[in-house]
């Protein structure tokens, strides 16, 4: 188990919770990971941070904040799903399934609104 940021609806407070590897149905791994990775970036960093689900000092996850216009999550969730089969919260997973694992296109204006609602730095 590892305490990591929980995916949340836009504008809701960011929280952390413990999640357990191996809790996601294997049949969902690829489609879910792709959705989490290919949605709209709100904030992206070229860096990485240590993987909280790995004992290896050589395992890292990507840094960034992603959205589908309704929910916001850390880009690292794509790695948690792909490499460790960590199941996200059920209401978030249900939302993604309802979209048939296809994130809607967002305008730059909507993405900036989400960044502001999340308290992220905005470009000048």
pLDDT digits (tens, 9 = 90+) for 2-56: 789 999 999 999 999 999 999 999 999 999 999 999 999 999 888 899 999 999 9
Counts of helices then strands in the chain (DSSP H, E): 4, 6
CB 36, CB 82: distance < 8 Å: no
Question: For residue 110, with 0-12 CB atoms within 10 Å meaning exposed, 13-18 middle and 19 or more buried, which class applies?
Answer: middle
Evaluate if residue 81 carries a pLDDT over 90: yes
pLDDT bucket at 72, cuts 50 / 70 / 90: very high
Q: Which residues of 16-30 are buried (b: 16+ CB within 10 A; e: fewer)?
A: eeebeeeebeeebbe
The model's pTM? 0.94
Q: Averaged over 58-87, what is the pLDDT?
A: 97
At 121 the pLDDT is 80
> Rounded distance, CA 105 to CA 117, Å?
19
Q: Does residue 94 have a pLDDT over 80?
A: yes
Distance CA 15, CA 17 (A): 7
Q: What is the pLDDT of residue 122?
A: 75
How do strand 71-74 and strand 8-9 relate by DSSP bridges? antiparallel
Averaged confidence pLDDT in the chain = 94
List Cβ neighbours of 43 (8 Å cut-off, separation of 6 or more): 64, 65, 115, 120, 121
Beta bridge partner(s), residue 9: 71
């Amino acid at each position: 188990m590892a305490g990591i940021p929980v995916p949340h609806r836009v504008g809701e407070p960011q929280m952390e919770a413990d999640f357990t590897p191996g809790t996601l149905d294997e049949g969902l791994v690829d489609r879910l990971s792709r959705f989490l990775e290919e949605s709209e970036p709100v904030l992206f960093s070229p860096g990485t941070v240590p993987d909280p689900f790995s004992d290896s000092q050589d395992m890292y996850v990507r840094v960034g904040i992603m959205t589908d216009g309704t929910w916001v999550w850390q880009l690292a969730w794509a790695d948690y799903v792909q490499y460790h089969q960590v199941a996200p919260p059920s209401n978030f997973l249900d939302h993604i399934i309802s979209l048939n694992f296809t994130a809607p296109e967002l305008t730059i204006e909507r993405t900036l609104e989400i960044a502001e609602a999340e308290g992220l730095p905005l470009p000048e």
